[in-house]
Each structure stands twice: as C-alpha cells, then as structure tokens.
C-alpha cells in the first residue's frame, strides 16, 4: 500500500514505523514544521512536504495523525476527491473527513504511543469506513500491520476511548501520586515497579474483579484506619483512599448480590 502520512507527532511516528516495517511504502510525510517533517520522512525513507496542497495525489491511503483539535482544519485543507482518507483519533467522528473525500474512515490505535519508543508494544487497531469496500480494505491493511483489528463505529470507539483513559491516564496518575507521596516521605518509589508490572501482567489470565486484593476487599478496618491516619497530611491521597476503599467494597457487594 502507498501511504501518505499527515502529521509528525507520536502517533504519526509510531504508525509510520509500524506501517513501513510491515512492508508498505510511506511515500510522503506532511508536517507544518520543516524539521519534524524532514526527520520523520528520512526515518521512513519517504519524501516530505510542508504544503498540504503539494501532497502526492496517487496514494492508496491518506492517514491524518494530528491533534484532535486540528483534524477539522486539516480535513478542510486536504482535497483528495475519491481517495481514502482516515484519521487516528478516538473521540472524533469520522464524518469530519467528508470535507476531504467521498471515501473516509478510521484507523485508531488503542495504545499510548511515544516517538522515542525503542520497542513498539502491541497496538490494537480499531477501523471504520463510510462504505463496505473501504472497510474491508482497512481491515486487511490494519491486519497486515498489527495482530489485533476490530471494527468500531464512532460511538463504540468513543466508549473504548473512555475506558482507555480510565485504565491508562488515570492509572498513570495513581502512579504519579504514589511517586509524589514516596518522594515526600523519602520512600523509594522504584521498589514498587515489580508490583505495578505484576498487577498489569496478571490480566492475561485473571479478570480484574477476581484479582482484587488489599485491605478494602478484605474489609481490614485496622489497616485502613492506620493508612488513613498516615495520610492525614496528604489530603488528596487521603480522599482518594477513602473513595477507592468505598468503591471496592461496593463492587464486592454488587457482585455478591448477583449470585
């Protein structure tokens, strides 16, 4: 597949590497910033341009991988008539691409991507299109690039994006709060790395509800009390502790009500 990549950020870079690693040809990279466009293009052995009107007119797919808020502007500037245009955003409707082409769709990586990644993680791709031929084409193309591909409508994609925010951004914020707490209390946050990895890895063979451990689910009020006292001078973590303890205990009750 001949691919034009629009964007030079984290998503464009990682998808570009994956696509080109899968044997497809990234023919051109577009970016507003010359240095960024040139760097990514060189990395992918592609041409580059900073003028959206000078895009290669004969690619098989145009991938818009720019900030969510920039997609409408880019879509309005991009005119490729009957060529397939997709964007890579979780919470933006595919319909914004109507402005660019009669054929449009979605190529959404359900993963947190960073330019500097050495080893690329597994990247599930959610695809969608405004017609069945392009949906098949996108399924095949995505399937040649990654192992997991699913079709998802705008609404389904938005829902998975919300769930992704919860399990990645919020989880990462828990890590950040714990690290902050450790710094203040002169405890070594790195000692928690193996635990953090284990809790994530475990989901491969056990559901999170079954895997729940700790003072809250044991209803260990002595430990909970000790922890809350210790957190007296860490107001935000104390609130969080109380909220999670209650929510974990509510989930146990809800689960046992179902039995």
Does residue 232 touch its own copies according to CB under 8 A? no
Q: Could you say whether residue 50 binds its own copies (CB under 8 A)?
A: no
Query: Is 194 a binder of its own copies (CB under 8 A)?
Result: yes
Which of 15-23, 40-48, 94-102, 174-182 is the region at the interface with its own copies (rule: CB under 8 A)? Answer: 174-182
Residue placing its CB nearer to its own copies in the complex, 35 or 203: 203
Site string for its own copies, 92-131 (x = CB under 8 A): ------------------xxx-x------xxxx-x-----
Between 123 and 137, whose beta carbon lies closer to its own copies?
Answer: 123
Q: Cα–Cα distance between 236 and 20 in angstroms, integer?
A: 45
CA 70 → CA 67, 87, 106, 159, distances in Å? 5, 11, 16, 21
Report the residue from 91, 115, 151, 242 that binds its own copies according to the rule CB under 8 A.
Answer: 91
Q: How far is the CB of 168 from its own copies (least distance, A)?
A: 5
Q: b vs e for 200-209, b when ≥16 Cβ sit within 10 Å of the residue's Cβ?
A: eeeeeeeeee
Which among 1-9, 39-47, 96-104, 219-227 is the span making contact with its own copies, rule CB under 8 A?
Answer: 219-227
Q: How far apart are CA 200 and CA 152, in angstroms?
A: 25
Residues between 198 and 217 with contacts to its own copies, criterion CB under 8 A: 198-204, 207-209, 211-217
Own/partner contacts of 55-60, CB < 8 Å, gap of 24 or more, are 55/4, 55/6, 55/28, 55/30, 55/80, 56/2, 56/4, 56/27, 56/28, 57/83, 58/2, 59/2, 59/3, 59/4, 59/27, 59/28, 59/83, 60/1, 60/2, 60/3, 60/84
Q: Is residue 193 a contact point for its own copies (CB under 8 A)?
A: yes
Residue 256 interacts with its own copies (CB under 8 A)? no
- Would you count residue 73 as binding its own copies (CB under 8 A)? no
Find the binder of its own copies among 188, 232, 257, 258 (CB under 8 A). Answer: 188
Residue closer to its own copies, measured from CB, 45 or 144: 144
Q: Is 242 in the site for its own copies (CB under 8 A)?
A: no
Give the sheet arrangement for strand 61-64, strand by strand.
47-49, 25-30, 2-6, 61-64, 81-87, 101-109, 125-129, 149-151
Q: In the bound complex, what is the minimum distance in angstroms from residue 73's beta carbon to its own copies? A: 14
Q: For residue 174, which of 199, 155, 143 has the smallest C-alpha distance?
A: 199
Within residues 142-171, the interface with its own copies by CB under 8 A covers: 148, 150, 156, 158-171
Binding test (CB under 8 A) with its own copies, winner from 36, 236, 253, 259: 236
Is 248 among the residues that bind its own copies (CB under 8 A)? yes
Q: 219's torsion region: left (phi>0), alpha (psi -120 to 50) or beta?
A: left
Q: Are strands 61-64 and 2-6 parallel, antiparallel or unpaired?
A: parallel
Residues that contact its own copies, how many (by CB under 8 A): 87
């Amino acid at each position: 597949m001949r691919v034009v990549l629009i964007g030079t950020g984290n998503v464009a870079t990682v998808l570009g590497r994956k696509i080109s690693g899968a044997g497809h040809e990234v023919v051109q990279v577009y970016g507003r910033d010359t240095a960024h466009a040139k760097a990514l293009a060189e990395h992918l052995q592609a041409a580059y341009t900073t003028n959206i009107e000078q895009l290669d007119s004969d690619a098989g797919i145009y991938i818009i991988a720019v900030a969510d808020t920039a997609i409408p502007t880019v879509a309005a500037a991009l005119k490729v008539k009957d060529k397939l245009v997709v964007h890579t955003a979780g919470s933006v409707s595919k319909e914004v691409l109507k402005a660019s082409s009669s054929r449009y769709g979605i190529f959404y990586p359900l993963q947190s991507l960073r330019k500097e990644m050495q080893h690329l993680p597994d990247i599930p791709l959610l695809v969608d299109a405004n017609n069945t031929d392009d949906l098949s084409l996108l399924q095949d193309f995505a399937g040649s690039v990654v192992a997991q591909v699913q079709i998802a409508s705008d609404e389904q994609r938005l829902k998975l994006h919300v769930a992704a925010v919860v399990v990645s951004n919020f989880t990462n914020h828990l890590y950040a709060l714990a690290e902050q707490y450790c710094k203040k209390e002169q405890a070594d946050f790195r000692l928690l790395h193996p635990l953090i990895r284990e809790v994530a890895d475990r989901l491969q063979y056990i559901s999170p509800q079954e895997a729940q451990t700790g003072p809250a689910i044991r209803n260990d009020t002595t430990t909970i009390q000790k922890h809350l006292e210790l957190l007296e001078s860490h107001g935000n973590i104390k609130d969080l502790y109380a909220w999670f303890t209650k929510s974990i205990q509510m989930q146990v009750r809800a689960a046992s009500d179902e039995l």
